[in-house]
Amino acid sequence: MHHGDALRPGETALAALPSARDAGLEFIGVLRTPFQTRDDCPRQGGFDGPDCRVELKPEFAPALEGIERHSHLEILYWLHQARRDLLSQSPKDDGRVRGTFSLRSPLRPNPIGTSIVVLERREGNTLLVRGLDCLDGTPLLDIKPDRCGYSVQARAKGLD
């Protein structure tokens, strides 16, 4: 357990952990970042952040066809070290407590994280990006073009 995982004053958690049900998600690759501990990670990634690698399993490489047309991508990942039972949390450990679903905390029943990243380039089945905030080795769930590319203006420029 991470040293920050102990309950803080005012926080509450489920009495019992939910059973380990599997929604059938497939990890399609892994995220390589310079962040080795949760304390190393920024709270949210930024486009001025360090170069990171989105390493897709080779069998999914054909699904990257056309990705270079997009300057910005949305990366979805599984925050695999997060506890999953918190109902209310005190992110700053300052006595102020808020409900899990009013926060972007990694600690949630289904610890899915998302970041918008800048796509620098593609090297085979790897994407070099900036904007991630997760631990090195975080499992990759999905890659989508940033939804801003789907604006009326972007469609007029031929993005689809």
Binding site for ligand SAM (CB under 6 A): 38, 41-44, 79-82, 104-106, 113-115, 133-135, 138
User: Which of 41, 129 has the CB closer to ligand SAM?
Assistant: 41
Residue 146 · residue 70 · CB < 8 Å: yes
What is the closest distance, in whole angstroms, from the C-beta atom of residue 38 to ligand SAM in the complex? 4
Cβ nearer to ligand SAM, comparing 42 with 50? 42
| Residues 152 and 66 sit within 8 Å (Cβ to Cβ) | no
Dist. CA 91–CA 96, nearest whole Å: 8
Q: How far is the CB of 3 from ligand SAM (least distance, A)?
A: 12
- CB atoms closer than 10 angstroms to residue 74: 18
Minimum separation from the CB atom of position 121 to ligand SAM (A): 22
What token pair was written down for 24? 């059938």
Going by DSSP bridges, is the β-strand pair 12-13/98-99 parallel, antiparallel, or unpaired? unpaired
User: What is the smallest separation between the CB atom of 11 and ligand SAM, expressed in angstroms?
Assistant: 16
Q: Is the Cβ of residue 44 or residue 151 nearer to ligand SAM in the bound state?
A: 44
CB of 116 vs ligand SAM, minimal distance in Å: 9
Tell me whether residue 90 or residue 138 sits nearer to ligand SAM (CB atom). 138
Query: Alpha-carbon distance 103 to 145, whole Å?
Result: 24
Question: Could you give the CA distance from residue 133 to residue 25 in angstroms, rounded to a whole number?
Answer: 21
For residue 108, the SS3 value is: coil
Considering beta carbons, is residue 11 or 133 the nearer one to ligand SAM?
A: 133
User: Which position has the token pair 């949210």?
Assistant: 44
